[in-house]
Amino acid sequence: MATTPTNKYLLLTSAVLFSFSSVILAKEEPASASIPVIENAKVFADFTDSMPAVVNYFTSATEEQVIDFYQQQFGEAESQERKRGRLTLTYQQEKQTMRVVISQQNNKRQVDVIVEYIK
């Protein structure tokens, strides 16, 4: 099958548009995330180099202080649920969902923060 100049132009245009759209999509979803932690946090797990991103830490801050901190960071919680002694707060900003799970561990609180993209 002979390739005409029109077919070559069409093929080249398609390839350029595909490459351009791939670059735009890659820029929309960074490969890593920066998750804020409360001032006295003792981080024991930090998986923020890829998405979904997760940070786990212990703090001596009260549950109310942790809630206030993340409200300042992410705004008003979309939902709040308590199960088995764990409080889960869900926030949404642009194309990201952030879940903050607070649980009592002896005299401290364990805080787990998960950030993922909304599909």
Same domain for 14 and 54, yes or no, is no
Q: Kindly state whether residue 3 falls inside one of the protein's structural domains.
A: yes
Read off the tokens for 3. 């390739």
Residue-number span of the structural domain to which 48 is assigned: 42-117
Q: To the nearest whole number, what is the mean pLDDT of the chain?
A: 83
List Cα–Cα distances, 2 to 5, 11, 12, 15, 70, in angstroms.
Answer: 10, 14, 16, 20, 63
Which pLDDT does position 3 carry in this prediction? 56
Same domain for 47 and 96, yes or no, is yes
Mean pLDDT of 88-94: 95
Quote the pTM value: 0.74
Domain count, the chain: 2
Asked whether residue 29 carries a pLDDT value surpassing 90, the answer given is no
* Residues 34-88: tens digit of each pLDDT: 899 999 999 999 999 999 999 999 999 999 999 999 999 999 999 999 999 999 9
Where does the pLDDT of residue 25 fall: very low under 50, low under 70, confident under 90, or very high at 90 and above?
A: very low
Same domain for 20 and 56, yes or no, is no
Same domain for 55 and 91, yes or no, is yes
Q: CA-to-CA distance for 32 and 38, rounded, in angstroms?
A: 20
CA angle 76, 77, 81 (to 5 degrees): 155
Read off the tokens for 64. 């109310």
Query: Residue 97 belongs to what H/E stretch?
Result: strand 96-105
Same domain for 77 and 51, yes or no, is yes
CA angle 16, 22, 28 (to 5 degrees): 140
